[in-house]
Amino acid sequence: MGIASVAFVLLTYLVAAFPFGLAVAKASCGVDPRLAGSRNTGATNVARLCGTRYGVLTLALDLLKGLLPVLVARAMGGGAVFLTFVVVAAVVGHMYSVFLYGKGGKGVATTIGVFLGAAPVAALLSVAACVLVIWATGFVSAGSLMLAVCLPVLLFWLGPCALTYAALIVAVLVIAKHRENISRLVAGQEKSWRKGR
C-alpha cells in the first residue's frame, strides 16, 4: 500500500473511533452509557437507557462510520488488501477508541456497515440470520454472535473470497467483545430484549 492508502486506513480508524453512542446518550437523556446499563456505548445499551429511537440513531451512525469509509476505499480502487485493512480499521476503531482510552462498543453495527459496503449480499444474509435469532430468542447478543459467524462462512461461499480473512478477523473481535454475554447466555442470566424476561 502507498502512503495515501496507509493515511486513509488511519483516518478510517479515527472516524470509526468517534463514540456516537456516548454523544447521543449524553445529548438525548444526559446519561453516560459507560456508567449505566451494560456500560457499553453501543446501540443496544443506548436504546435501553434513552429509548428505542435513540438506539436506532446510534445504530445508524455506527453503521455509517463503517459503510462510508469502505465505499470511499472501493472508489479509490486499492484492491483486496487495502479494503481488508479499511474494514478491520473501522471495526477496531469502534471497539478500541482512542477517544475512550482504548474502550468502545462491541462492533456489530460497524461490522454490518463495512460489509454492506464490501460484500452486500453476504452482509444482508448475515443480518437476516441475526434478526431471526434475536426474534426467536429475544437475545441481541445471540443474534450478534450469529452475524459474526455467518459473515466469513457466507463470504467464503458467495465471495468475494478475498474478504474472508477480513471477516474472520472481525468475527474473532466481535466474539471476544461478547465474552461476558456468552458467559451469561450459558448461565441463563443474559437480559432479553423482550420485556419481562
**Which pLDDT tens digit goes with each residue over 143-170?**
999 999 999 999 999 878 889 999 999 9
CB contact set of 43 (below 8 Å; sequence gap of 6+): 21, 55, 56, 58, 59, 62, 105, 109
Pairwise CA distance, residues 103 & 156, whole Å: 31
193 in any annotated domain: no
196 in any annotated domain: no
Under a CB-based contact definition with an 8 Å cutoff, are residues 100 and 22 in contact?
yes
pLDDT band at 196 (very low <50, low <70, confident <90, very high): very low
Cell triple for 162 = 478475498
Q: Is the pLDDT of residue 19 over 90?
A: yes
Pairwise CA distance, residues 130 & 127, whole Å: 5
Domain total for the chain?
1
**Which pLDDT tens digit goes with each residue over 84-143?**
999 999 999 999 999 999 998 899 999 999 999 999 999 999 999 999 999 999 999 999
Pairwise CA distance, residues 15 & 146, whole Å: 26
Of 12-16, 38-42, 72-76, 108-112, which gets the smallest average pLDDT? 38-42
Amino acid identity of residue 112, one-letter, is I
154 in any annotated domain: yes
Average pLDDT over residues 62-91: 94
Pairwise CA distance, residues 28 & 76, whole Å: 37
97 in any annotated domain: yes
pLDDT for position 92? 97
Average pLDDT over residues 66-91: 94
Average pLDDT, the chain: 92
Q: Is the pLDDT of residue 17 over 70?
A: yes
131 in any annotated domain: yes
pLDDT for position 197? 47
Pairwise CA distance, residues 185 & 170, whole Å: 21
Q: Is the pLDDT of residue 47 over 60?
A: yes
Pairwise CA distance, residues 159 & 140, whole Å: 27
192 in any annotated domain: no
Q: Model pTM greater than 0.85?
A: yes
Average pLDDT over residues 20-28: 93
pLDDT for position 28? 92
Range of the domain at 127: 3-187
pLDDT for position 37? 82
pLDDT for position 195? 57
**CA neighbours closer than 13 Å in the CB half-sphere of residue 24:** 27
